[in-house]
Amino acid sequence: MEKEFIYDQHEKHQDWLSRLEFYKEEIQILKERLQEITSKNNAPEVLVDVERFQNQFIVQRNNIDELAHSIKVHEAKIVKEIEKNPVAVEHRKMEAHVEEEDFMIYFEKNFSELRDNYKHFAAKWM
């Protein structure tokens, strides 16, 4: 069981939540651009890809929500630990959140691939 300093974990949480918020906003922008493509092209091969991207945006948005929830739950545990014993917080460690970190890496890799695929699709049909 890996442990990390409490403040380091808190900083990671804030960074991750900020990045997830960025991805959430980016999904909204990509969805709006997808609507533009749909309004200009209604060929069957376009609509198949549009539906695929819509589904992927839904999946990634759910991943963002689940990961953000998990991070917030872990952050609440940190707050309880600090409230329970506020002395020398900067020197204390808690169990690391390896699963969230692994999922964040996995999510960002997948989102990057989705974004790249979408850019190629949009360039072709815009």
Q: For the chain, what are the domain ranges?
A: 3-125
* pLDDT on residue 109: 98
User: What is the pLDDT averaged over residues 85-114?
Assistant: 88
Express each pLDDT in 23-43 by its tens digit: 999 999 999 999 999 999 889
User: What is the pLDDT averaged over residues 86-90?
Assistant: 78
CA neighbor of 122 nearest in space, from 22, 58, 35, 61? 35
The pLDDT of residue 52 is above 90 = yes
Distance (Å, whole) CA 33 – CA 98: 35
3-state secondary structure the chain: CCEEEHHHHHHHHHHHHHHHHHHHHHHHHHHHHHHHHHHHCCCHHHHHHHHHHHHHHHHHHHHHHHHHHHHHHHHHHHHHHHHHCCCCHHHCEEECCHHHHHHHHHHHHHHHHHHHHHHHHHHHHC
